[in-house]
Amino acid sequence: MDNFTFYSPTYFVFGKGEENNAGHYVKRFGGTKVLIHYGGGSAVRSGLIGRVEKSLEEQGILYVELGGVKPNPRSGLVYEGIDLCRRENVDFILAVGGGSSIDSSKAIAAGVPYDGDFWDFYSGTPITKALPVGTVLTIAAAGSEGSGDSVITREEGMLKRGASGEAIRPVFSILNPELTETLPPYQTACGITDIMAHLFERYFTNTKDVETTDRMIEGLLLAMINEGPKAVKEPGNYQARANIMWAGMMAHNNSCGVGRSQDWASHGIEHELSAKYDCAHGAGLAVVFPAWMKYNYKHDIMRFAQVATRVWGCHMDFSNPENTALAGIEAFRNFLRGIGMPLTFEELGAKEEDIPYMADLATGDGKIGGFVALAKEDVEAIYRLCL
């Protein structure tokens, strides 16, 4: 195991009805004038925004609102949010929604106290200062409720890029699994896929002797395999929703990733798909991740065989562990198919002729991936495995 530091100071409030205490937590974390930032309307239709407004009013907290965050959130609304917060002297951002609303909130939070263009943060400048962000989560997926990351798409050239910094890690996150019961099965499955991808990005490591985090990841993957299909089939299954919601946080606040190298090439490869075709991030990962696995399993056959036996219940073929490794990848594909995810470019609406362009953007001037370093030609080959 490698040396590491781990500091994850988000205050989590988990369970039924807790969104009604949003005002209490905003006050506790010092907010006096709030921007409520939300998505395309699901939180309005469900009455959630109304309940959040009421809880702020009960605490005497003033607020302004900005809705309209799109999945794969855009920079245009971030600029609008920064202007609004400056004009209204907002000192706290409350994200109500999924990863997109939370990431857009984080971008606004970092942009308000910054003199330059907020896009600098998405071009490599570290975020050191931001308004505090709280979240009321409505979909278990991106893990942004516990992460110090944000992903924004710049409309010009549809460039999707990430920014990081402790300053944008939410100060509190309210996780009520009931709020996820209105999700359509497809969005639920996209979330499950993203959560599993966050676990795999950490599982495929070159660091030796990481039994504790290996076992944590395997345990969370097993929980997703058991609970995921239940939530897809029965949207109102509270216990399945609750287990998935906490797994989504655990998968991405890096408690499973400390002390080990991580990969993250699949996310880079996927981000070009969701930028170009505006598909759901989880759906893009369902297409990319099995292809990445097929392309790279020979780098460490025993690690792939380990996950195949411990997580997918595959038989260990000691005479030819490659068979076991491949059986695990096939089991993952079958699982994704079973929850209704796409597995090919065609199902995603992606086009073969865009492959060189996307591979170019994904790799920039160098290589991507901490497990196997991939050059542009490798990324092209992975995209081709998705055809």
Positions that interact with Zn ion (CB under 5 A): 194
Cβ(259)–Cβ(4) under 8 Å? yes
Q: 265: Cβ–Cβ under 8 A, 6 or more apart, which residues?
A: 292, 368, 369, 370, 371, 372, 374, 379
C-beta of 33 vs 230, nearer to ligand NZQ: 230
Type of residue numbered 106: K
C-beta of 90 vs 95, nearer to Zn ion: 95
Cβ(55)–Cβ(94) under 8 Å? no
Which among Zn ion, ligand NZQ, none contacts residue 71 (Cβ within 5 to 8 A by kind)?
Answer: ligand NZQ
* C-alpha radius of gyration, the chain, whole number: 20
Structure tokens at 200: 């795999």
Least separation in angstroms between residue 303's CB and Zn ion is: 21
Cβ(285)–Cβ(197) under 8 Å? yes
Least separation in angstroms between residue 277's CB and Zn ion is: 16
C-beta of 72 vs 243, nearer to Zn ion: 72
Least separation in angstroms between residue 315's CB and ligand NZQ is: 32
Q: Which residues here bind ligand NZQ, judged by CB under 6 A?
A: 39-43, 71-72, 97-101, 103, 138-139, 141-144, 147, 149-151, 179-180, 182-183, 187, 191, 194, 252, 267, 281-282
Which among ligand NZQ, Zn ion, none contacts residue 26 (Cβ within 5 to 8 A by kind)?
Answer: none
Least separation in angstroms between residue 285's CB and Zn ion is: 6
Which among Zn ion, ligand NZQ, none contacts residue 139 (Cβ within 5 to 8 A by kind)?
Answer: ligand NZQ
C-beta of 18 vs 201, nearer to Zn ion: 201
No. of H helices and E strands in the chain? 15, 8
C-beta of 252 vs 294, nearer to ligand NZQ: 252
Separation of alpha carbons 149 and 98, rounded Å: 13
Least separation in angstroms between residue 324's CB and ligand NZQ is: 28
Q: Which of 195, 74, 59 is closest to 134 using CA atoms? A: 59
Beta carbons within 10 angstroms of residue 250's beta carbon: 21
